[in-house]
Amino acid sequence: MNDVIQTIMNHRSIRSFQDKALSDEHIQTLIESAQAASTSSFVQAYTIIGIKDPLRKAKLARISGNQSHVITNGHFLVFCLDLHRHELSTEMEGLNPSDLQQALESTEMFMVGVIDAALAAQNTSIAAESLGLGICYIGGLRNNLDDVSALLKTPNRVIPLFGLSIGYPTKINDQKQRLPLANIYHEEEYISDDELLKSQLKQYNADISAYYAKRTNGSRAERWTEGIASKLKDTKRLYLKQFLESKQLPLN
């Protein structure tokens, strides 16, 4: 196994960091790594906003449901879908804004931006982990994107998607075992065998339950399917559709 694969395979989210800032050199390396990712049709439809100010981090932590690792870390990044510069580019090329509205507001362009941002974020994460740093994605920002957008002054056609806490780890959990490879990887065709899937998930439930019990000294031992059911029982963040519309991205 080479060093890159070893770094990838060693991943686990870190939720406890030293209060020690990353150097500007490290930050630059991480952002350049993000930019090296593939990007649909070369559109580079994302922007990354770095947060150093403790007060701003505290506000983002509150929005994210009081996650302490949003405050105490080495650096905090917010990954945004960004179609603002594309609107400007077409204006520079003399196109009429009303002619592009449909394209800019398409589900296709939204997917392009989300995929681009995710690829950039994962490159950042692997680069950080290869430097001995830890990371934790923060989807909790989407609890209130109106507040995030106001705090970061993001313009129309820019949607904050998630955060990334990066820093020097102080606590490293055991790795979380993934689903069996056969669940995730199918060859030639999608395999739909629900009976087989259920029996595999039962085994996986036992493994994940044991993982949580060990990690929490027995105070938590939920099954994987239990966690999924509890997540899907309540519909969350239904305001996002309105938020997209307010940022001139009503998807068509």
Residues of this chain that interact with ligand FMN (CB under 6 A) are: 11-13, 15, 64, 67, 136-140, 162, 176
Q: Which is nearer to ligand FMN, 83 or 161 (CB)?
A: 161
Query: Which strands sit side by side in the sheet containing 75-82, from one edge to the other?
Result: 46-51, 75-82, 158-167, 134-138
Q: Which is nearer to ligand FMN, 112 or 117 (CB)?
A: 117
Shortest distance (Å) from residue 24 CB to ligand FMN: 26
Q: Which phi and psi (to 5°) does residue 104 adopt?
A: -65, -35
Shortest distance (Å) from residue 160 CB to ligand FMN: 12
* Dihedral angle of Cα 235, 237, 162, 125, to the nearest 10 degrees: 0
Q: Which is nearer to ligand FMN, 12 or 223 (CB)?
A: 12
Q: Which residue is nearest to ligand FMN (CB)?
A: 139
Q: Which phi and psi (to 5°) does residue 236 adopt?
A: -115, 150
Q: How far apart are CA 176 and CA 216, in angstroms?
A: 13
Q: Which is nearer to ligand FMN, 139 or 250 (CB)?
A: 139
Say if residues 138 and 123 touch (Cβ distance below 8 Å): no
Q: Which is nearer to ligand FMN, 67 or 72 (CB)?
A: 67
75: helix, strand or coil: strand
Shortest distance (Å) from residue 107 CB to ligand FMN: 19
Shortest distance (Å) from residue 175 CB to ligand FMN: 6
Q: How far apart are CA 22 and CA 167, in angstroms?
A: 7
Shortest distance (Å) from residue 117 CB to ligand FMN: 10
Residue 106 is encoded by which pair of tokens?
């398409």
